[in-house]
Amino acid sequence: MSGAWPDELFEVLVRQKVRQVAYVPDAGHSRLIERCTANPDMETTVLTTEEDGVALLAGAWLGGDRGILLMQSSGVGNCVNMLTLIENCRMPFVTLVTMRGEWGEFNPWQGPMGLATPDVLTRMNVQVHRVDAPDQAAATLDAAIAQSYDGLQASAVLLSQRLIGRKDFEAED
């Protein structure tokens, strides 16, 4: 994550009083994770699987905290069963998803879930918001958090691969 927009996303989390940040390590979220981890008012939790983050955030809300799940599009499929908890209990839920399998993707394994992510989330009654340009990121996340916590519903903000940049694992000369 380069540029000012990851820092703007962090400022939205602070302004919206997000206290719990659950994540599976991801290069696309690295700057935001660094900022959240450094903030003494936020509790960050490293996950081994994304669906644990859904449960963690449900518990955080029941305990009076706002939270967000940071994950890659490849992890969305892992959350499907747990998203029924959010739907059936009418709990707020926000996830920030870095997209893979899109623009310039080198890894064919990322394609299927990247393509399916918006539809999977929509079918699980998650409102999907897509960000393709840096100037859209903060306002979109701010609206998604407000929508979720004010309306007791689930929202996902998809950060396009064009926005986060193409991963390149070529060896350096």
At CB < 8 A and 24+ separation, what contacts does 8-12 make? 8/137, 8/138, 9/96, 9/137, 9/138, 9/141, 10/35, 10/36, 10/39, 11/138, 12/138, 12/141, 12/142, 12/145
Q: What is the mean pLDDT of the chain?
A: 88
pLDDT at res. 117: 85
Residue 173 lies inside a defined structural domain of this protein: no
Residue 51 lies inside a defined structural domain of this protein: yes
pLDDT at res. 170: 52
Range of the domain at 151: 5-163
Q: How many angstroms separate the Cα of 169 from the Cα of each of 7, 106, 110?
A: 25, 9, 14
pLDDT in tens, 57-79: 999 999 999 999 999 988 898 99
Residue 149 lies inside a defined structural domain of this protein: yes
pLDDT at res. 1: 39
Residue 111 lies inside a defined structural domain of this protein: yes
**How many domains does the structure of the chain reveal?**
1
pLDDT at res. 26: 87
Residue 171 lies inside a defined structural domain of this protein: no
Residue 106 lies inside a defined structural domain of this protein: yes
Q: How many angstroms separate the Cα of 49 from the Cα of each of 74, 88, 103, 162?
A: 11, 22, 25, 25
Task: Tell me the average pLDDT across 133-160.
Answer: 95
What's the CATH number where 55 sits?
Answer: 3.40.50.970
Residue 168 lies inside a defined structural domain of this protein: no
pLDDT in tens, 64-121: 999 999 999 888 989 999 999 999 999 999 999 988 656 665 656 665 566 668 889 9
Q: Could you tell me the two tokens for 95?
A: 């996830």
The answer to whether the CB of 137 falls within 8 A of the CB of 9 is yes
Residue 170 lies inside a defined structural domain of this protein: no
